[in-house]
Structures are given as structure tokens and as C-alpha cells.
Amino acid sequence: MTNQLSPELFRVIDANLNRLKEGIRVVEDILRYRDNNKELSSKLKLLRHKAKTEQTQELLKHRDSINDVLRSTIKSELNRTDINSIILANFKRAQESSRVLEELYKLHNAEYSENFKYIRYELYALEKEVLVKN
């Protein structure tokens, strides 16, 4: 694929790549430090490390977090009822971001698109494993 990504799309990719890794990291750290769950925190760590591109300089060049029109926190982002609501919110954040990355990379790099699709489906499975008690 040879479609070039515009500066605006690099901003979208940068924001979603950061959001994906941050969401995974929140859940990973809860499972690691609160639960001492080496298996699940290791799976999340591997996914977080898989969430990357070779375009670091392009992404940084077009980053404009200061002028993000939705930078301010909204009330619903401040409402968490318990630790499971934090875990759920961060799984959803990571899944949504991986979907955005999967879709945008369909324009530019099918291998990256498939990578982010893989991450998304792994997150779906891990979310169920972590949050559904049998």
C-alpha cells in the first residue's frame, strides 16, 4: 500500500497509539501489583509492546496535544465506582483505540492493520478472563 498519511491522520494515530498503550498499562499494573498475577500481567505487557509502529518521528512531529479540542476532562471520566470499573474503562479505551488504528492503517499498511486487529481481539479475550468470574 502506498497511500500517504496526512499530518492530521498522524495525529489520530499518535493519540490512539498512546491511548492504547496507556489503557493496557493501567490494567497491567493493577493485575501485576494488586493481584500479583504474573500470567495476565505478562500477557498485557506483551500486547503493549506489540502496539508500535516504525513511524515514531512522524508521529511526534505532528503531535499537538496542547491544542486538542477535547483535552478537558468530562464528568463521566471522573466517575469510577470501584477497581473493576477502572479495569473495564481501560479495556474499552484500549479496544476502541486498537480499532481506530486497525482502520486507519488499512489505508497505509495492511501488516500494521492486522497487528492492531490481533491486539483488539486479544484484549476482548483478556477482558472476559479478568472481569467474568465463573
Question: Which DSSP string do the residues of 49-72 spell out, in sequence order?
Answer: HH---S-HHHHHHH--GGG-TT-S
Average pLDDT over all residues of the chain: 87
Residue 82, domain member (yes or no): yes
Question: For 32-89, what is each residue's pLDDT tens digit?
Answer: 999 999 999 999 999 999 998 877 777 666 766 666 656 566 666 667 789 999 999 9
- Find, among 10, 79, 14, 12, the residue nearest to 51 by Cα: 14
Region 17-26 average pLDDT: 96
Residue 23 lies in a domain: yes
Residue 1 domain-assigned?
no
What pLDDT is stored for residue 7 in this prediction?
72
Number of domains in the chain: 1
Residue 2 resides in a domain = no
With vertex at residue 32, the alpha carbon angle to CA 85 and CA 127, rounded to the nearest 5 degrees, is 40
Looking at residue 104, its pLDDT comes to 93
| pLDDT value, residue 73 | 64
Per-residue pLDDT at 29 exceeds 90: yes
For residue 65, what are the domain limits? Answer: 7-131
Q: Is residue 64 one of the residues assigned to a domain?
A: yes
**What pLDDT was estimated at residue 28?**
98
